[in-house]
Amino acid sequence: MPRTAETASFQFNHTMIRVRDPEVSLKFYTEIIGMDLLSKKDMGDFTLYFLAFDHGQNYKAMSEEEREKARFAREGVLELTHNHGTEKDESFAGYASGNSDPGRGFGHIAITVNDVEEACARFEQLGVQFKKRPQDGKMRHIAFILDPDGYWIEVLSNRLEL
Amino acid sequence: MPRTAETASFQFNHTMIRVRDPEVSLKFYTEIIGMDLLSKKDMGDFTLYFLAFDHGQNYKAMSEEEREKARFAREGVLELTHNHGTEKDESFAGYASGNSDPGRGFGHIAITVNDVEEACARFEQLGVQFKKRPQDGKMRHIAFILDPDGYWIEVLSNRLEL
C-alpha cells in the first residue's frame, strides 16, 4: 500500500555519481559488480551511463530502445556521469566520496549478496580495494569496497543476520 | 539473465546520505516523497533510518521484525544517517550535496513518477524548494527538488519521453 495516493506511482529510480574514467568504471560495475549497461546518453560535453542488475529482465535480448525504456520502469539504477576530459587530466584531483571533509554528505551505495565472504573473496582476487574487509572491526557481516573513484560500496547479506 | 554467475544474487540495495535533523528529513521523505520507514537502528552516537516505497509489500501490516528483514531483500532503499547533535548544533555547516566544490562527486537520487507536472505542482504546494522546475531550462520533462539537507532529487517520468 503506497504511503499516499499522490505518490503511489513514485519509484526510487536511480542514484547518480560522477566518474573520472568511464572505461575503468564500466569495467568495474559490469565485470566486478555484475550490473548491465542499459543505456548510454551522449549529452555534448558529458556522457551518462545507466546500469542495473538483470534479475530476469533479460536486457541482453532487448533492443537498444527497449532497454532505454526499461530503465525508467524500475528501482536500483546507477547513473554514472562522465564529464569529458577528466580521464586524461593529470591535474584533476578526483571526486569526493562524501565520507571526509570537505564534502562530507553522501555516504555509500550498497549491494546485497547471498554470501558476503564468498563475494569478498572474489573481489579480493579481482584486485578490488577494500575500505573494510569482513574480518576488520566489529561488524563481521559487512564489508566496504571502493569503486575506481573511491566511492564506498557496502557489501551485505540479503538476509537479516544478527 | 545475470551478467555473471558469481553476481547473480547481487542487488543494488540502498543509497546512504547523512541528514542534519531526522525529524525534518523523515517528514520530508514520508509525507512529501511518499516512502515508508522500514527500520530505525540506534547505533550509539548515530541512528540509521531505512526508507522505501511500498509497491505492494504492505509494510504497514508487517511486524517490526518482518520489515527489518524485508529491507535486505529489495532494491531502492534510502538510508538516512543521523549523527546525534547536528540538529541543534548552530555551528554545523550542513552537508555537501555533492554538486559544488569542494566535495563534488555524488550527484542526486531520482524518483520516477506517472506525471511530472502533477507531482511538481504538489511539491510546490507543500513548500518544497526547487533546484529546477519543469519549465526552467531546456529539459521540460524533468525537475530537481531539494531535500531538507540540500541533496538534489530528480523528478522524472516513469516512461521514456522525448
Enumerate the residues of chain B whose CB falls inside 8 A of the CB of residue A8.
Answer: 34
Full-model pTM = 0.94
Check residue B42 and give its pLDDT.
97
Q: Is A126 on the interface with B (CB under 8 A)?
A: no
Compute the mean pLDDT over every residue in chain A, rounded to the nearest whole number: 94
Q: Tens digit of pLDDT per residue, chain B (162 long)?
A: 667 889 999 999 999 999 999 999 999 999 999 999 999 999 999 999 999 999 999 999 999 999 999 999 999 999 999 999 999 999 999 999 999 998 899 999 999 999 999 999 999 999 999 999 999 998 889 999 999 999 999 999 998 865
Query: Each residue of A3-48: pLDDT tens digit?
Result: 788 999 999 999 999 999 999 999 999 999 999 999 999 999 999 9
Q: Select from B4, B69, B114 the Cβ nearest to the Cβ of A9.
A: B114
A82 among annotated binding-site residues: no
Enumerate the residues of chain B whose CB falls inside 8 A of the CB of residue A72.
Answer: 112, 156-160
Check residue A1 and give its pLDDT.
60
User: Which has the closest alpha carbon to A1: B158, B36, B38?
Assistant: B36
Check residue A102 and give its pLDDT.
87
ipTM (interface predicted TM): 0.94
Return d(Cα A88, Cα A96) in angstroms, integer.
Answer: 18
What is the secondary structure of B77-115 as a DSSP string? Answer: EEEEEEETTGGG-TT------SSSSSS--EEEEEEEES-
Cell numbers given for A86: 577528466
Banded pLDDT at A162 (limits 50, 70, 90)? low
Cell 539504477 maps to which residue?
A77
What is the mean pLDDT of the segment spanning A108-134?
Answer: 96
Q: Are B38 and B54 in contact (CB under 8 A)?
A: no
Check residue A5 and give its pLDDT.
87
Check residue B4 and give its pLDDT.
80
Return d(Cα A161, Cα B51) in angstroms, integer.
Answer: 19
